[in-house]
Amino acid sequence: MKLSARQIAEHLGGDIVGNPDVLVSSPARIEYGKSGNICFLANPKYEKYLYSTGASIVLVNRSFTPKESVKATMIAVDDAYQAVADLLEYFSQLKKSRHKGNPLSRFFSFTRRLKGRIGRGSWVADFVVVEKGARVGRDCQIHPQVYIGENVTIGDNVTIYPGVKIYHDCVIGNNCILHAGCVIGADGFGFAPREDGSYKKIQQTGNVVLEDDVELGANTCVDRATMGSTIIHKGVKLDDLVMIAHNVEVGANTVMAGMCGVAGSTHIGEGCTFGGQCGIGGHIYIAPNTTLAAKTGLMRDWKTPGQNLMGYPAMPYMQYMRAYSVFKKNGEK
């Protein structure tokens, strides 16, 4: 797949400085750009690479004026950083449209029963299992070795990568992306202690609901609710190896970096940001737009929105830094 500077400029609404017919097939970082690559310059500290890069095309801001001659064709846009995000999405869409997949996997157990349950434009790879009552929307991509349980509902334009497991009765919204190894709807961690020291399993009868535009990283797990639903609201982005326990509710447009863990029945407000390896206690409330630094541990309600927290137990960032200065001085004695 190759795109010309002219095609890219038309797509992005940019102005070409150089050869409009030069072709590129892949994006790259400007410092490593080679012939056939398209790069971008948004941060002035990388300007020096513009004059030495081997890339064929470079996206730049309209306000930028080069100090030296530039070998590459430049495309001037309003915002180079935003333009490269649009361009990467454009490349991805073109790649998807070229993919040749089976309209129905030949490894279905009940292929006849699935007629009408796979939406138009969707493709399903080999070694996929779709159980009775499950429905897949339009323009979806279901990669090999995916399991879709009974009565699962999957919206339109959903991409499910290899090895994803979606248990029965779960709901996946439109435009979601589930990366390899995700498990959606496994039983929540619910056990009642007995007098003899053993544990009785508490049946988990609910489901998981992912709303539209949710993306889950590789090997991320979202457990089903004991009753009701574990809900991941619209626009949430979870990194690899994130654990969301039963009956949790994650507010819209919240993002979590890798290895975060959220215990059961916690309510997270919208627009929150969690750094890597954060630990969140169960049955607590976290206000909207709360930011947790990496490895923060929050074990109680946090009701003040828009604060930056750090440490274990979590406290406001500046309070933590003052406390840390005391720890450090004492440790030096």
Q: Known catalytic residues?
A: 246
d(CA 222, CA 183): 6
For 108, the 3-state DSSP assignment is coil
Cβ atoms within 10 Å of 103's Cβ, excluding its own: 10
Per DSSP, the residues of 157-197 read: S-EE-TT-EE-TT-EE-TT-EE-TT-EEEEPP--EEEPTTS
Residue 78 Cα distances to 59, 114, 167, 293, 328, angstroms: 10, 47, 45, 32, 47
- DSSP letter at 282 equals S
d(CA 104, CA 111): 8
* Angle between helices 5-12 and 80-98 in degrees, nearest 10: 110
Cβ atoms of residues 316 and 296 within 8 Å: no
Give residue 186's region: left, alpha or beta (phi > 0; psi -120 to 50): beta
Residue 221 Cα distances to 127, 232, 272, 286, angstroms: 22, 12, 19, 20
Give, for 309, the enclosing helix (H) or strand (E). Answer: strand 308-310
